[in-house]
Structure 1
């Protein structure tokens, strides 16, 4: 690999074109030459995730929203609340519906008119993690036991797909739920529950909930996907790395560092030592994501007070 920069330096544009041609023609060999020196083609360390940012409240028409950038991967999560009749088996609980969207604009691999194969898989995985982690207390979405509760529609839109889609989708979902604000609601003369807005609404109608409120989030899940190639563990792979490496493991841990789920996709069987290394990296990543999430809300609060 050391010869590549030298060739590029000596040959100028011709040298750079030669390196790029080698990268395209022999992607696995190109990657392995980097891994031999414990570095990746984008200059990251093997255990290093890409820069991550969170924008809060980016969709004004939603009750909660967030935009997450994980390197070049971009995810927009929005939550809309609707009043519904709770199911008979859980009359004092609300519910959550999750849908992950991959429009053609997000990747050249997604064709117009053809649903992305990964979309329903990620939708199901997100819903499972959000429920099993205990982050959401569905009883907080109840309005009138047996009569009315909130249905939270969580839609995640992949704006740019450059690897680790589940990680970015989960983080944007968490940020959107943290931003979510439950609106005021009232009961009409006909028994119908509806949302109320403005000062006039507060005085004209009898309110079910006296003030807007946030959800009380429990153990928040955070995830890290690792690509596994021979003895190398690559944290937060981009799309180029994912296209080359067949085996990946996604680790989800909660805010108490408890293991929520382990998902392995394709490839050879991973050793227990490798899985433990991935879990350790996921716990370290959890601490970094918590700092990023906390910082984004502190910045938002400061901006709102100015």
Structure 2
């Protein structure tokens, strides 16, 4: 009798899986009627999220961020540059988002992922326009030397909401960033002072006398929502993104001020209430992420 039941259960699972593959939208709509998703999440809930600081030992600042299975590794490396003539007291930030073939079967070896340059531009726009980093904080010697911060983000698993996870990893990496000690040598060149030579005598005082955290102002966080009929699905997975046409990404800073609204493609939003509902979900999400990041920073300081 148990063998028969087992066979029936297996047959039923196969039928459900086949229906899901053949009619994915109808499959989802059956769940949406019950205000739940196939993975068991309520419509407005994001996936489980984790942040780990200091994931890359050789970087000046780094973080590993996971939203569900979507995984981002961010690393910041500092180099000395000559400031631009029009901004002699400012450093620079250069951002690059990478999608190696390991992150998704949709990314083919030897062919750059179409999403990579789009997300690179989005990240650059948001980080620079949000006011998170005062570029004057990266100045060393006015008109002569400043820090160039290279931020590289590697997508290790692309399972939806890529921009949200990439931005979270970027903010976490900058929160972990420590600016090293440098001094001027006899020739007036900037020299990095390592722990080994920290006791050496210099002709001039160190430009910055001790390692310091980069001062950050309000931090930007985002939430992407998929919109289908009257339903709003927070933090869509890759499967949900593949079958739904309309998305809205809301970026708020840690003081809950609006930084950006982005709707890439799909039908227009007929109802203002849908935007308001997405913003409300983002406010809740920002509070969660801010608390999570603060806890990760506290854990690092204790260690």
TM-score past 0.5 threshold: yes
> Tell me, what secondary structure is at the counterpart of 1:198?
coil
> Tell me, what secondary structure is at the counterpart of 1:204?
coil
**What is the deviation of 1:215?**
1.1
Range that drifts further, 26-35 or 290-299: 290-299
Output the CA distance in 1 between the equivalents of 2:161 and 2:295. Answer: 22
Runs of 5+ unmatched residues, structure 2: none
**What is the deviation of 1:300?**
2.2
> Tell me, what secondary structure is at the counterpart of 1:89?
coil
Instruction: Give runs of aligned pairs for residues 177-196 of structure 1, distance below 5 A.
Output: 177-196=174-193
Check conservation: 1:227, 1:237, Cα contact below 8 A: yes
2:108 paired with 1:87: no
2:126 paired with 1:129: yes
**What is the deviation of 1:170?**
0.3
| Residue of structure 2 equivalent to 1:218 | 217
Q: TM-score, normalised by structure 2?
A: 0.95
| Residue of structure 2 equivalent to 1:256 | 255
| Residue of structure 1 equivalent to 2:51 | 54
User: Which string of whole-angstrom CA distances, capped at 9 and with x for unpartnered residues, describes residues 132-183 of structure 1?
Assistant: 1100010010000000000000000000000000000000000000000000
User: Which string of whole-angstrom CA distances, capped at 9 and with x for unpartnered residues, describes residues 14-65 of structure 1?
Assistant: 1111111110011010011111110011110000000000001010000000
Runs of 5+ unmatched residues, structure 1: 1-7
Output the CA distance in 2 between the equivalents of 1:165 and 1:183. Answer: 31
2:166 paired with 1:172: no
**What is the deviation of 1:10?**
8.0
Instruction: Give runs of aligned pairs for residues 154-303 of structure 1, distance below 5 A.
Output: 154-205=151-202, 206=204, 207-270=206-269, 271-302=271-302
Check conservation: 1:9, 1:15, Cα contact below 8 A: no
**What is the deviation of 1:203?**
2.5
> Tell me, what secondary structure is at the counterpart of 2:21?
helix
Report the number of matched residues. Answer: 296
**What is the deviation of 1:93?**
0.3
| Residue of structure 1 equivalent to 2:149 | 152
How large is the Cα RMSD of the aligned pairs? Answer: 1.2
Output the CA distance in 1 between the equivalents of 2:136 and 2:74. Answer: 22
Q: TM-score, normalised by structure 1?
A: 0.94
> Tell me, what secondary structure is at the counterpart of 1:225?
strand
4+ aligned runs moved over 3 Å, structure 1: none
Output the CA distance in 1 between the equivalents of 2:166 and 2:258. Answer: 19
User: Which string of whole-angstrom CA distances, capped at 9 and with x for unpartnered residues, describes residues 249-280 of structure 1?
Assistant: 00000011100000001111112110111011
| Residue of structure 1 equivalent to 2:105 | 108
